[in-house]
A and B are shown apart, each in its own frame.
Chain A
């Protein structure tokens, strides 16, 4: 009972976080009153709350808040797109493998081992090199292509039992086409676990993208992303700790929110 009472408060909180996120996505650095590229060499490494800079400035006198907001835009956009790609490939593959012969199940298992052991970093560098330069599409494609087995594993396991259920068998016997069978009778049964998975994967993608940008192979050079901000902040840890703290805490905040949403969905499904 107590959990029932607690649910609305959390829902409101999460909805509020989503709204804040959406507003930032729409307005970006305009909310900070500064352009994220604008440099002010007279006001370098200004601590927070000085000269109209809420979170201070970085080593080139750029407004940290403006960069943080632009970075959120980038992070959320890349993470959402990467999650979408992983979701589409993973779900399709999982469904096909669950439907097909047992040999496909063996391939499933091997692919899982394969993608677990294949260092995503190598794939990231390669895809970026093939596509010409580091940018939105290369990073999104890379993350999607490396992480889809997360989805296929779950879909495969659950769909296999769904295909044995009576309502699915009955629908199959009426001669329903396979696609329609998937969409009408199997997918709905997968939605509870898939929705949870999507949210957690989104959080993982935020981390992964930042890690790549941190290593300097994600976002284009000079772009305002959290990973790049963290990387640049390493030279100023003592003199300007806010350069590390701002992107770090922003990232933690969005991940904690995503995890809370995932947990919330999981509990709601039970």
Chain B
């Protein structure tokens, strides 16, 4: 089946579908339940937080007292049911490190991650969309070959390696930017660029492929035959299709950023949710780990649902298919 021409992005009014919304909620409930259950039992195997809490040189009696205080002395199944019951009321307990509510601690660090993710998303779109559109318009040319080669090499750089190299160059050798921390705009540049550097190549590739596919499609041929100028074809016929096809990937990349910036945040001491996850896991702070993971799962789910909805709203073809099916 060849795609129908999409001449302009008129948003189709999507009717609210209660069945699919309910299905989405059911999926979310299942995933949250499964994640939190697996997490509970995995964390209980990691180590004994009572020993960590008691500190070095604590007597067995002290450890025992702490165990009783936090309920770690109950059978694990009882602990699990108490935990599951509290989860239903979003009660994650308090951080073992400082006694603040775990959910609050996770929520406080979430904006930093969201902030980084949105900055990276913005810069990524600004770089990838024009580059992909430009690359997809022709196969040959020295400049295009050079850029493609560069993208191939860039794909070989893991994000945290880029981060280290950029710190090495811009912060340590040239002293242009601060190495780590979360302060003014100067501290935002390196983390954002590190994230973009490994997200952009993929997005550029997809936009390029979509552009090429759109340019060789029947509707563009028809538009050409009817005498439409090249730039009208590019902006009215090719670009919307190429960009629509990239929404799924942009959504996936954003979801990835909510859980996958652990190393980057650690390198830059960025006080986000990934950094908190590392800190709390290593210090066996179970309640905080659980709250962080809960937020991450919610974030990923919301992002995927949003991306799907966005695509269905913007792309009349998908709207049609839904309506027919």
Contact = CB atoms under 8 A, between A and B. Distances in A.
Contacts of B157: 252, 255
Contacts of B304: 113
Contacts of A130: 45-46
Given A215-B278, A252-B161, A256-B156, A119 B259 contact: yes
Interface in B117-167: 152-153, 155-158, 160-161, 164-165, 167
B164 A244 contact: yes
A197 interface: no
Contact of B27 (A113, A116, A123): A113
Contacts of A234: 164
Interface string A106-133: 0001100110111101110110011000
Contact of A252 (B156, B282, B300): B156
B255 interface: yes
A234 B168 CA distance: 9
A210 interface: yes
Given A114-B34, A230-B164, A237-B172, A126 B158 contact: no
Contacts of A253: 156
A245 B46 CA distance: 35
B225 interface: no
A119 B161 contact: no
Contacts of A110: 27, 30-31, 34
A117 B259 contact: yes
A207 B301 CA distance: 25
A69 B309 CA distance: 49
B42 interface: yes
Contacts of A245: 165
Nearest to B258: A117
Contact of A248 (B47, B153, B165): B165
B282 A125 contact: yes
B51 interface: no
Contact of A241 (B155, B168, B266): B168
B168 A237 contact: yes
B277 interface: yes
B45 A211 contact: no
A214 interface: yes
Contacts of A117: 31, 35, 255, 259, 296-297, 300-301
A241 to B, nearest CB: 6
Contact of A121 (B31, B38, B47, B281): B281
Contacts of A211: 158, 160, 263
Given A256-B152, A259-B155, A122 B160 contact: no
A9 interface: no
Contacts of A113: 27, 31, 300-301, 304
A125 to B, nearest CB: 5
B300 A248 contact: no
A238 interface: yes
Among B153, B263, B304, the most chain A Cβ lie within 10 Å of the Cβ of: B263
Nearest to A203: B156
B158 A207 contact: yes
A238 B172 contact: yes
B107 to A, nearest CB: 17
B220 interface: no
Nearest to B23: A106
22 contacts: A113-B27, A114-B34, A117-B31, A117-B255, A117-B259, A117-B300, A117-B301, A122-B39, A125-B46, A126-B45, A203-B156, A207-B158, A210-B158, A210-B160, A210-B161, A211-B158, A244-B168, A248-B165, A252-B153, A255-B156, A256-B153, A259-B152
Given A117-B31, A248-B164, 8 more contacts: A119-B277, A122-B39, A211-B160, A215-B263, A244-B164, A251-B158, A256-B152, A259-B155
